[in-house]
Each structure stands twice: as structure tokens, then as C-alpha cells.
Amino acid sequence: MVPFKNVYVPTKKFTRDFSLSSNPFGPSPRVKQALMQALSGSDSLLSPYPETGYPALLQAIADFHRVCPEQIILGAGLDGLIFDTINALLGPDDELVLPAVTFENALYAAIAQGARVQQVPMKSDFSVDFDQLIKSINPKTKIVFLCNPNNPTGIYEPLTSIVRLLESTQAFVVLDEANIEFSGGSAISLIERFPHFMVLRTFSKAYGLAGIRVGYGISRSPLLKKTASARPPFFISTLSAIAAQEALLDQDYVHSVVEKIIHERTFLERELNVLGFTVIPSQSNTVLCRIPSSIASASCLIEQLNRYDFHVVNGTHFNLPDCYVRIAPKVHEANEQLLGALRHILGK
């Protein structure tokens, strides 16, 4: 039995917090304009309940991905959808299978449901061991959960591996693509071939809208309806829906921001290597690295960083030993400041 732990959220405020990966460049300016316009209208959008089913946002997402609105489920962030899905579909007799080192929310949602959990060890390079994952699936397995690119490793798994997994099982495969804009191709096109497959996406990362809490899932499975009917009807606000819809329309902005974040990530990876960190090459918007052997533990390093008012997340939150940290790149100046603090701590 996996012991219950809480999902990682910062418990203290730090001026320079590199622990959570929100977009440091913020959303498209069009989002602010749309919100101002919505608020300045004579018929306030604040008093009425949101329109049932958020049809405008659903249609915008459907058009963007070229799927039917019926194949989309909205949620209060991607996290919200993970919990909604697991709460609706997993009971104490069911099992969740997932890699041992991954985004932890599905694990905690399953534990809260009293479901069984199988965490499948990673390969030595931290990639997902698809052979073992497939072998671990058994008649009790109701959901297989994966992140691509994975969090915290930043490793992108090729779609051929996802297809192999989908071909091997009838369990519901849930693929978290929260950070897909920073790496290779999305698996969304596979939903046509595999009805037992769902891809989850979010406005929190590339779109710079973590504060509005909007995510969505795309699938052909009837489990979408089952999930939707097991929760209240209004779970995102009218203003959040407007913000998400507008953000989706400004793809030029998204592409430019993604480029900048990848540039900063590459810069951090290079400089961390120079400082003696062992960096796992990332295709996401975070960098996982092993600390230099001169530092006793990641906890010690974080304690020292906290004294400088910096914060990064300890790999222990992701089931890793206490010698890994995950760093989310910020704007260039902040990244330079973090490197400066690390140089100071390391005496370099």
C-alpha cells in the first residue's frame, strides 16, 4: 500500500519560486482585453450562472483540434480532470497503473478513492519502461496513467510506445499532455483509433493561464459522460471560459512564448551542467537534475536556497531519492539570479 502524502504545493512564499512551472511570460494580451471587455458590458457576466456546458469554449477547442464537441470534457484545470476521472471511475476493487516517477496527482486521487495502485519502476535513464508497464496491467486495472512529456523528468516518449500500450490493453489509458507544447507531437489523433484513450490538456502552461483553472480532455470513450455526470454542473467560471477561449485563438503568441521558455530551459540546462549538476535532458518546461556530490542532499540545497529567498522542488515529491531537484525556468534575469545563488552555495 502506498502511504498517503499530499500533492506538492508551495507552503511558503518565496520571492523567486522555481518550484511550480507556470509560464513566466504570462498570457496573450488579447486575454486581458477580452476580460476587460466582458466586464465592461452593461449586462454583467458576474451574476448569472455560466452557460450550461460552456458551449462556446467547447466549440473553440473542438475547432482547434478538429474533433467533435461531444469528444471533449472540460475541467477545473488538468488536475481537476484527473480527480474527476479517478473519482468517477475508480473504486476500492480497481487498480491504477502508472510509472513510479511521474506527476503525482493521479496517484493521490486513486489512494483517496481507496483504489489499488501499481507504480512501475522507470528504466535507468528515467524513461518509461513500457514492457513492464504493459506486463503490470491485469484484470483489476481500470486506468493506466501517463504524462507525456513526463513530469518531473521532462522526457518525451515516442507515440509508437503509446500506440503499443493502447494495443496491449482495454483499460482506460489517460495521457496527461500538460506540457506537450514544449516537446514532440501530441497523441490526440490516436483517439480516433482507440476509444479507450483520453488525452488531457491545460491552459496553465504554454497559455500562461494557471490562475484561471481550465483544462480539457479529448476522448471517444463513453466514460467521458460517466465522469461528467459525477460532478457539479458549474466547475469553471464564465470569466475563465472567456479567457481560455481567447487564449486559444492567439496561437502566434503561444508559439513565441514556448520558444522563449525552451531557450531559457536550454540555458539553465547548460549552466547547471557547468556547475556540476547532472541534468536529465528535458523536452518540457522544467529541468530535473541530480545535485553535485559536494552537497549532502537536495533538502540541504533547498534549505540554503530558501535562505536566499529562492525555492525549487525536491525530487522526493516525485518518489525520487533526496538528491534530485526540479527547476522551472523563469525569465532570463531570474534564471541568472538562481545560478548566482547556486554558485555562491557551491563556492564557485
Q: Which is nearer to ligand PLP, 295 or 313 (CB)?
A: 313
> Segment 168-187, which members bind ligand PLP (CB under 6 A)?
176, 178-179
CA distance 198 to 71: 9
* Per-residue binding letters, 42-81, with ligand PLP (x by CB under 6 A): -----------------------------------xxx--
Q: Which of 72, 96, 147, 291 touches ligand PLP (CB under 6 A)?
A: 147
Give the residue among 164, 157, 226 at the shortest CA–CA distance from 193. 164
Q: Which of 113, 183, 202, 240 touches ligand PLP (CB under 6 A)?
A: 202
Q: Which of 21, 71, 183, 227 touches ligand PLP (CB under 6 A)?
A: 21
Q: Which is nearer to ligand PLP, 24 or 295 (CB)?
A: 24
Beta bridge partners of 215: 75, 202
Q: Which of 113, 141, 151, 314 touches ligand PLP (CB under 6 A)?
A: 151
Retrieve residue 197's grid coordinates. 484513450
CA distance 285 to 304: 24
Residue pair 330/24 in contact by the 8 Å Cβ criterion:
yes
Place of cell 469528444: 71
Distance, CA of 276 to chain centre: 28
210 lies in the binding site for ligand PLP (CB under 6 A): yes
- Closest distance of CB 147 from ligand PLP, Å: 4
Q: Which is nearer to ligand PLP, 199 or 242 (CB)?
A: 199
Counts for the chain of helices (H) and strands (E), in that order: 11, 13
> Segment 85-104, which members bind ligand PLP (CB under 6 A)?
103
Which residues fall within 8 angstroms of residue 130, CB to CB, at 6 or more apart?
157, 161, 164, 165
Q: Which is nearer to ligand PLP, 78 or 323 (CB)?
A: 78
Q: Is 117 helix (H, G, I), strand (E, B) or coil?
A: strand
Place of cell 479529448: 218
Binding footprint of ligand PLP on the chain (CB under 6 A): 21, 77-79, 103, 147, 151, 176, 178-179, 202, 204, 210, 215
